[in-house]
Amino acid sequence: MKNYIKHDEWRVIESGFHAEYNEITESLMSLGNGKMGHRGNFEERYTGKTLQGNYVAGVWFPDKTRVGWWKNGYPDYFAKVINSVNWIGIDIEIDGEIVDLGKCEILDFYRELHMQHGHLMRFCKLRLQNGKEIRIESIRFCSITHDEIGHVDYEVTPVNFDGLIKITPYLDGNVQNRDANYDEHFWEEISKKSEGKRAFLQVKTKENKFGVDRFDLAVGMDLSICLGGHAREVDFETVQSEKYIGLTFSVFAQKSQTIRIVKKVAVHNSTNFFPDYLLAECEKSLTNVADLQMLPLQRAAWKAKWENCDIKIEGDESAQQGIRFNIFHLLQTYTGQDARLNIGPKGFTGEKYGGVTYWDTEAYCIPFYLSAVDFSVARNLLVYRHNHLQKAILNGQKLGFSKGAALYPMVTMNGEECHNEWEITFEEIHRNGAIAYAIYDYINYTGDASYLNQFGLEVLISISRFWSQRITFSENLKKYVMLGVTGPNEYENNVNNNWYTNYIAVWTLKYTLEAIALVKAEQEDYRRIVGNLNFEEAEETERWNEIIGNMHLPYDENREVFLQQDGFLDKELLSVERIRQHRPINQNWSWDRILRSCFIKQADVLQGLFFFEDDFDQETHLRNFDFYEPMTVHESSLSPCVHTVLASKLGKIEKAYEMYVRTSRLDLDDYNNDTEDGLHITSMAGTWMSVVKGFGGMRVKNTKLHLNPILPKNWESLSFRVGLKDNLVEIGINREGIIVKNLSEKEMEFSLFDKEITLAGMDEFVLHTEAA
């Protein structure tokens, strides 16, 4: 755990340069606007530790699969969002020395991500190797009002000399992915040009053997120069090489006279325009924003964004910073405007896991986007999967399933499976259940049942078909069984009858039957769906009902707990306390030792209780929590949040808080020593759940709000807003009581500690707690 980031309500601050942590800071201070983003790299050259990264949503490359030993069914490629044109770069040269923070003396340094305003600011004072001292200040952001626009406002000031400063803002496509399977460069140059204070570069992903369309990416930059506060005309000289274009100019500055470079950048790609139009689109964008004051626009837009999704915590600045940091990055990563996009595990903050889509989206992210932003955002995440239905069916076929059975991929960009570990790729099939669950979750929350008619039912039927083929009837048990799976607890592989997977499979079948009944009301929609899918209702649903009634769900009669899988009790059941010095086991133990131990990466039985909580009474929750929690090592960043929610529900506030602390500052404090690779974006949504569903005790059932709040001991207060079908609600919890404000005109009903309350429009309800 590191502790060099200053605690602050709204800002992430590095004061004084921590070169050894630079890649961590770069991750923390990443910027994005849903359409593009980049890590908090320096504009100048830097030969120290750095992971240089610029990413454009939806622009990726099929990187040829690398394996030790090929297994039938492995995909040919791993789709990865690729490091793209570096557009932040500005070279500074003084007396032949190019400024490089890795080579000069850093006299002063301050870097700050302002989460309320949505920009990254940096100040530093440097002594070059030649003794000259300069001051640099920069503010940078990706515009959220014009999402193709990037903005760098950069100042350099000589401190102890008068002299000529040579400056080269540039666009550079000579970039690589650190995790490229075969160390390939993925970009080829298409064209470049300069026109006065503008330069443009168009690149294209290279040819591939997998039939994947290539992407064109064009970037344009527009420069404005000031000296000592006054606009200055300069002569730009074009410098160019393969995939690189820069505009060089030199300015004679007197001591303390500031040279300011405003570099506006436009980024367009072929997912939205024909390749031939891209450069013109960049020009148009640059012209459109030429005279706009982008920074005030950005600040105002971010302030507005925060209005309804902020969470306020009093009495714990570190927790306050943590939760805002999580929300900020979630908002930067995905805006829900384009159903072709999804939420990569690292967002725009790093390369790891290739920026592809996991079940994290459905299981962890959707609740955040449902409550915090417009419903259309969550809906687009569902549509993304609907759009991939045909590919999921093909994926099922590839693995030997038939009749339209869909197996959604474990990781994907465009609907095709990319992962290549058999125990995950072929066996971690519970993802199919999460995709079905998200449809339920969305409709339950929003009341928008029409989604079923339009898209949802097709997905549900196709997934149910998969489950009905994936199970086997065991003559031995006289039950249906599910052999050879990996549950969310990836510390067990190829097990039989993972309780969570079996449960969610049966649930999917049931919910699909419900959904069929609902959609049938609209004969026309239903006929279309039946036709599209060749759905033989009578026959197929008969089998589903047969499975629903006869599924094997492992259970221990003695302890009265659900069993993670068949045979789980044959393990030596130990508490994690017994292996304290071995943790994290994923770094200290061989894989087989992990597998045969009882220790749990994330407890999937508890995940099931969390999803389907109303199916089980409080005692069942308690028994299972008390059985599994002590064996859980939480070595998935997605694990602690579920425990916070359950512990809160069970009144175990200390355990809940302990778990919360593990997630909320996971990246800020680099708990897992891996923040340098990028941030854990999807688990950030879990942190949001920890607060809102955990401490806030917030649930929405059939569009209606339910609250069972519980405040951590060291917090003075907690408040947040949630958007419901007909109401925007603000919930405040403090030592004196609970206040629920209806911020909309419409009357609302809600439940607080299981009491039904009706609240008029714009009214508030206050409950004074007895303890206070």
Please identify, among the stretches 50-58, 269-277, 562-570, 753-761, the one whose residues bind a copy of itself according to the rule CB under 8 A.
562-570
Evaluate whether 61 touches 79 at the Cβ level (below 8 Å): yes
> In Å, what is the CA distance from 686 to each residue of 394, 437, 660, 663?
31, 16, 10, 8
Closer to a copy of itself by Cβ: residue 291 or 572? 572
- Can you give the length of the chain in residues? 772
Check 43, 490, 492, 635 and give the catalytic one: 490
Please, what is the minimum distance in Å from the beta carbon of residue 67 to a copy of itself?
A: 4
Q: How many residues bind a copy of itself (CB under 8 A)?
A: 48
Please identify, among the stretches 14-22, 328-336, 569-577, 644-652, the one whose residues bind a copy of itself according to the rule CB under 8 A.
569-577
Closer to a copy of itself by Cβ: residue 513 or 569? 569
Considering only 252, 555, 591, 753, the residue that binds a copy of itself (CB under 8 A) is 591
Residues 283-342 binding a copy of itself (CB under 8 A) are none
DSSP-H helix ranges across 612-721: 618-628, 639-649, 653-664, 681-689
Considering only 476, 581, 702, 714, the residue that binds a copy of itself (CB under 8 A) is 476
Beta-bridged to residue 64, according to DSSP, are 77
Please, what is the minimum distance in Å from the beta carbon of residue 397 to a copy of itself?
A: 10
Closer to a copy of itself by Cβ: residue 68 or 229? 68
Please, what is the minimum distance in Å from the beta carbon of residue 524 to a copy of itself?
A: 38
Evaluate whether 506 touches 547 at the Cβ level (below 8 Å): yes
Evaluate whether 707 touches 750 at the Cβ level (below 8 Å): yes
User: Helix 317-333 crosses helix 653-664 at what angle (to 10 degrees)?
Assistant: 50
Considering only 66, 527, 578, 768, the residue that binds a copy of itself (CB under 8 A) is 66
Considering only 47, 293, 581, 590, the residue that binds a copy of itself (CB under 8 A) is 590
Please identify, among the stretches 43-51, 538-546, 581-589, 646-654, the one whose residues bind a copy of itself according to the rule CB under 8 A.
581-589
Nearest-angstrom CA–CA distance, 564 and 577: 20
| Per-residue mark of binding to a copy of itself, 695-734 (x: CB under 8 A) | ----------------------------------------
Phi-psi region of 459 (alpha: psi -120 to 50; beta: other; left: phi over 0): alpha
Evaluate whether 694 touches 644 at the Cβ level (below 8 Å): yes
Nearest one of 360, 372, 380, 377 to 323, comparing CA atoms:
372
Considering only 566, 635, 669, 677, the residue that binds a copy of itself (CB under 8 A) is 566
Closer to a copy of itself by Cβ: residue 41 or 420? 420
Examine the residue annotation and report whether 490 is marked as an active-site residue of this protein.
yes
> What string of H, E and C letters represents the secondary structure of 295-342?
HHHHHHHHHHHHHHHCEEEECCHHHHHHHHHHHHHHHHHCCCCCCCCC
Residues 595-624 binding a copy of itself (CB under 8 A) are 595-596
Nearest-angstrom CA–CA distance, 336 and 349: 18
User: What count of other Cβ atoms lies within 10 Å of the Cβ of residue 422?
Assistant: 18
Nearest one of 491, 463, 495, 493 to 481, comparing CA atoms:
495
Nearest-angstrom CA–CA distance, 463 and 74: 21
Considering only 15, 16, 20, 71, the residue that binds a copy of itself (CB under 8 A) is 71
Closer to a copy of itself by Cβ: residue 441 or 566? 566
Considering only 233, 570, 577, 770, the residue that binds a copy of itself (CB under 8 A) is 570
Evaluate whether 759 touches 740 at the Cβ level (below 8 Å): yes
- Cα-based torsion angle of the residue sequence 333, 334, 339, 342 in order, rounded to the nearest 10 degrees: 50
DSSP designation for 694: I
Evaluate whether 511 touches 440 at the Cβ level (below 8 Å): yes
Residues 483-512 binding a copy of itself (CB under 8 A) are 483-484, 493-496
Please identify, among the stretches 60-68, 297-305, 330-338, 726-734, the one whose residues bind a copy of itself according to the rule CB under 8 A.
60-68
Cα 635–424–351 angle (5° rounding)? 65
Nearest-angstrom CA–CA distance, 279 and 259: 29
| Per-residue mark of binding to a copy of itself, 411-440 (x: CB under 8 A) | ---------xxxx--xx-------------
Residue 189: which H helix or E strand, with range? strand 187-195
Rg of the chain, C-alpha, whole Å: 27
* Residue 592 within binding range of a copy of itself, rule CB under 8 A: yes
Considering only 98, 226, 399, 767, the residue that binds a copy of itself (CB under 8 A) is 399
* Residue 581 within binding range of a copy of itself, rule CB under 8 A: no
Greatest pairwise CA separation for the chain in angstroms: 89
Nearest-angstrom CA–CA distance, 606 and 499: 10
Nearest one of 468, 493, 492 to 482, comparing CA atoms:
468
CB-hemisphere CA count at 13 Å for 250? 9
Beta-bridged to residue 135, according to DSSP, are 125, 157
> In Å, what is the CA distance from 586 to each residue of 2, 92, 593, 595, 642?
20, 44, 10, 10, 20
Please identify, among the stretches 4-12, 147-155, 303-311, 563-571, the one whose residues bind a copy of itself according to the rule CB under 8 A.
563-571
* Residue 69 within binding range of a copy of itself, rule CB under 8 A: yes
Evaluate whether 409 touches 416 at the Cβ level (below 8 Å): yes
Please, what is the minimum distance in Å from the beta carbon of residue 68 to a copy of itself?
A: 4
Provide the pairing of β-strand 119-127 with 90-94: unpaired
Evaluate whether 327 touches 309 at the Cβ level (below 8 Å): yes
Please identify, among the stretches 129-137, 213-221, 284-292, 582-590, the one whose residues bind a copy of itself according to the rule CB under 8 A.
582-590
Evaluate whether 316 touches 714 at the Cβ level (below 8 Å): yes
Show the tokens assigned to 345: 């595990």
* Residue 447 within binding range of a copy of itself, rule CB under 8 A: no
How far the first Cα of the chain sits from its last, in Å, is 36
Considering only 123, 473, 671, 765, the residue that binds a copy of itself (CB under 8 A) is 473
* Residue 13 within binding range of a copy of itself, rule CB under 8 A: no
Closer to a copy of itself by Cβ: residue 474 or 708? 474
Considering only 295, 569, 622, 767, the residue that binds a copy of itself (CB under 8 A) is 569
Closer to a copy of itself by Cβ: residue 572 or 577? 572
Phi-psi region of 484 (alpha: psi -120 to 50; beta: other; left: phi over 0): left
Closer to a copy of itself by Cβ: residue 493 or 624? 493
Please, what is the minimum distance in Å from the beta carbon of residue 534 to a copy of itself?
A: 23
* Residue bearing tokens 């708990």: 671
| Per-residue mark of binding to a copy of itself, 187-216 (x: CB under 8 A) | ------------------------------
Please, what is the minimum distance in Å from the beta carbon of residue 26 to a copy of itself?
A: 24
Considering only 98, 292, 481, 650, the residue that binds a copy of itself (CB under 8 A) is 481
Closer to a copy of itself by Cβ: residue 209 or 755? 209
Please, what is the minimum distance in Å from the beta carbon of residue 548 to a copy of itself?
A: 19
Considering only 1, 67, 300, 760, the residue that binds a copy of itself (CB under 8 A) is 67
Please, what is the minimum distance in Å from the beta carbon of residue 350 to a copy of itself?
A: 17
Please, what is the minimum distance in Å from the beta carbon of residue 471 to a copy of itself?
A: 10
Considering only 2, 10, 64, 65, the residue that binds a copy of itself (CB under 8 A) is 65
Nearest-angstrom CA–CA distance, 310 and 371: 11
The residues of the shown chain that bind a copy of itself, judged by CB under 8 A, are 65-69, 71-73, 398-400, 420-423, 426-427, 472-477, 481, 483-484, 493-496, 566-567, 569-573, 586-596
Active site residues: 490
